[in-house]
Amino acid sequence: MAKQLFRPGIFILLPLFVIATALKIWIASVQPTFTTLRTVNLGGENAYYRPRGDEVSGFKRSQAKYHRSPCPALNTLANHGYLSRDGKDLTPDIIIQAIVQVYNLDAALAEVLVSPLADRFTLADLGEHNVIEHDASLVHDDAWKGGDPSYVNATLVSNLLSRSNEAQQLSKEALAAHRREREAESTATTSDFEQTFTFQRALISYSESAIMLLVMGDHGTSTLSVDHAHSFLMEERIPDDYEKPTSPVTLFWCMWTAMQLKVLSFLSPILI
């Protein structure tokens, strides 16, 4: 029997590759430049303090002195006094002001991020399951385990950081592979994960990773240093050498990076 030479998969992938390449070139041509970076104040009233033990809680309606959330970006702002130190009596406008000032997010993106929030809330309110908080988090346990939603799982942080390259940098591929692994773990252990991890929650989870990369990472190489990732995720602290991008991080770039991470997550078994 003659050997089959026709492989239809090649003819499907070839035009997709051409389209993707053309899109990448166009994206690069309109990408805002991040050549000038700026620091933020980390001293005085913005010095780092992270509450610990019984004085802090991520449970909704907790009576603890300090409230924290499953979101490292917001907890970091509270730990540095850019939000109220106790994490209470917050409004969407207060959040917008802080994330624009410190992370240099575009106002339109900031508006989208705060749109699900109540008119007044505490950081612990964000720990309500499947509202803002979701399963398959990068560094937090799934809700069924019953732990504090703001608790950072050091093992998950270590697993993520172990994916860094020889230069101690986390690439998009590394972040995507960790996201895929977390989703696989939740699929295997969380009974209703496939029903509750909707398209919207998946979009939120990949957008969170995208924003971390765009805000805390190296804009020239699209990588995130291990030091910055550990400071931000484990310590919920702004790195001492952090510099925010001069050009605001836009909704477009957040969505584009999130889409890249999702595609890389799908491809991670053959890329990593």
- Residue-wise pLDDT tens digits, 31-49: 554 444 588 999 999 999 9
**Predicted confidence (pLDDT) at residue 9 exceeds the cutoff of 70:** no
% of the chain at pLDDT higher than 70: 85
d(CA 133, CA 184): 18
Q: Taking CA 44 as the corner, what is the angle to CA 219 and CA 52, rounded to the nearest 5 degrees?
A: 80
Q: How far is CA 28 from CA 4, 5, 178, 217, 249, in A?
A: 40, 37, 26, 18, 15
Helix boundaries (H) for the chain: 8-30, 72-79, 92-103, 107-114, 154-161, 172-189, 193-196, 199-216, 226-229, 251-271
% of the chain at pLDDT higher than 90: 80
Relative orientation angle of helices 172-189 and 251-271, to the nearest 10 degrees:
70
Dump pLDDT digits (tens) for 108-149: 999 999 999 999 999 999 999 988 899 999 999 999 999 999
d(CA 46, CA 85): 10
d(CA 118, CA 127): 13
| DSSP state string for 36-62 | SEE----SGGG------GGGEE-STT-
d(CA 234, CA 116): 26
Dump pLDDT digits (tens) for 139-184: 999 999 999 999 999 999 999 999 999 999 999 999 999 999 999 9
Mean predicted confidence (pLDDT) in 218-242: 96
pLDDT, position 24: 54
Mean predicted confidence (pLDDT) in 62-85: 98
d(CA 201, CA 109): 17
Beta strand 56-57 pairing with 66-67 = parallel
Kindly list the structural domains of the chain, giving each domain's residue range(s) and its CATH number in brackets, ordered by start: 39-271 (1.10.489.10)
CB neighbourhood size of 223 (10 A): 21
